[in-house]
Amino acid sequence: MDSPPCIDTVVLQPTPFCNIACRYCYLPSRSDTSTMSLDTVRAVFAAVFASGWSHPWLTVIWHAGEPLVMPVAYYEEAFSLIASLCPPGIEVRHAIQTNGMLIDAAWCALFRRWEVGVGVSIDGPREIHDANRVTRQGRGTYDKTVAGIRCLIDKGIPFHVISVLSAQGLQAPDEMLAFYREVGITDVCFNVEESEGDHVSELFSEGNAEARFRAFLSTFWRKSRESAGIRFLREIDGMLTRILRPDEAAGENSQVQPFGMINVDCHGNVSSFSPELLGLKNADYGDFIVGNIHTDSLQAMRQSDAMRAMHRDIAAGVAACKAECAYFAVCGGGSPINKLTENGSFATTRTSFCDLVQKVPTDLILEALDRLETVLDDDMLVRSAS
């Protein structure tokens, strides 16, 4: 831990409470109605900005539970407070990941005023979405989520969606594409339902998840480019920037750096590495908490036993990845939460994350580039012969 951290992301948990109860949710405290005080927000950013460790473009992600169960006025005050603490030379960008059910004109006005990056979780057409994304009474949430999305579209607020692909969605690339086009969704990200925390995905017990995702993504990518509608597909367009970069530009992975990300729960407890670690229990690493923002300095947290133990094991995993994995240049050593959940240790390498998030998109892009090269070679041959 010799070189100073470069904090590019702060993940804040304004409340662990969620207004719904998705069947694949791994969050243990989604019924806890505690909230993060503005004093805690102040303490986080006073510490981050005073540390000198902040990246010039600092992303603040309001996540975990459902962030929109907090009132609009809370964010107005929190955003103003952070802006008042922010020193010159640092640009703060806010992002919110929401289930979309509470979005209305007042939320859209806040998003516009503060240029908030908005992500909405929706899993596809009604029968796919409502299979998992349900209320505590088991009722589907499709109508309210689509109403929220339509409000964003009506008000001209840019947004993307994240769709969790369970077995049903993986079989339905055409239906998913038709759904996005019908609603007017242009920017799409997919998360294949994974095992995280206490949640064990059935997809993986059925086997063949990699081949099924590959077939899904290949079809979706091809068909989405055959006509207008989808402008951004994270699994392809996001991966392209990691593949097509100068050799000297290192692939970044802030999830494996101590304080590359700072993750703070509503009580001010601080963690790092994968945000999903916050709230999980583990005796070996002090429940992944390196300190509390009200009582400990970031410098002390960086030197804490929990941080050192996590960094030691995560770094061992990254070193093994670098030694043995052909995808290291685009991946940078993966996601610690997946390694711990699937392999039982941070100091490991391959997980389903590798196959789904790194291998499948990279292989599809490289195959497309190979085909392009063949076409260009044939074209050159024809031109030189004529």
Contact residues toward ligand SF4 (CB under 6 A) are 321, 325, 327-328, 331, 333-334, 349-350, 354, 358
| 320 vs 318: CA distance, rounded Å | 5
Q: Least distance in Å: CB of 331 to ligand SF4?
A: 3
Asked if 69 contacts 107 with a C-beta cutoff of 8 angstroms, the reply is no
DSSP bridge partners of 272: 262
One-letter identity of residue 62: W
Q: Is the dihedral of CA 327, 324, 370, 211 positive or negative?
A: negative
Considering only CA atoms, which of 103, 98, 46 is closest in space to residue 264? 46
| CB-nearer residue toward ligand SF4: 153 or 329 | 329
Q: Least distance in Å: CB of 247 to ligand SF4?
A: 17
User: Taking CB positions, which residue lies at the least distance from ligand SF4?
Assistant: 334
Q: Least distance in Å: CB of 161 to ligand SF4?
A: 25
Which tokens hold the place of 30? Answer: 């989604």
Give the relative orientation of helices 360-385 and 209-226 as an angle to the nearest 10 degrees.
50
> Backbone dihedral region of 184: left (phi > 0), alpha (psi from -120 to 50 degrees) or beta?
left
| CB-nearer residue toward ligand SF4: 265 or 355 | 355
| 12 vs 270: CA distance, rounded Å | 10
| CB-nearer residue toward ligand SF4: 272 or 349 | 349
| CB-nearer residue toward ligand SF4: 272 or 338 | 338
Distances (CA, A) of 120 to 27, 144, 240: 18, 12, 23
Q: Least distance in Å: CB of 336 to ligand SF4?
A: 9
Angle 57-5-346 from CA coordinates, rounded to 5°: 110
| 177 vs 221: CA distance, rounded Å | 10
Q: Least distance in Å: CB of 349 to ligand SF4?
A: 4
| CB-nearer residue toward ligand SF4: 257 or 358 | 358
Q: Least distance in Å: CB of 359 to ligand SF4?
A: 6
| CB-nearer residue toward ligand SF4: 30 or 311 | 311
| 48 vs 74: CA distance, rounded Å | 21
| CB-nearer residue toward ligand SF4: 128 or 331 | 331
Considering only CA atoms, which of 119, 111, 99 is closest in space to residue 189? 119
Q: Least distance in Å: CB of 52 to ligand SF4?
A: 30
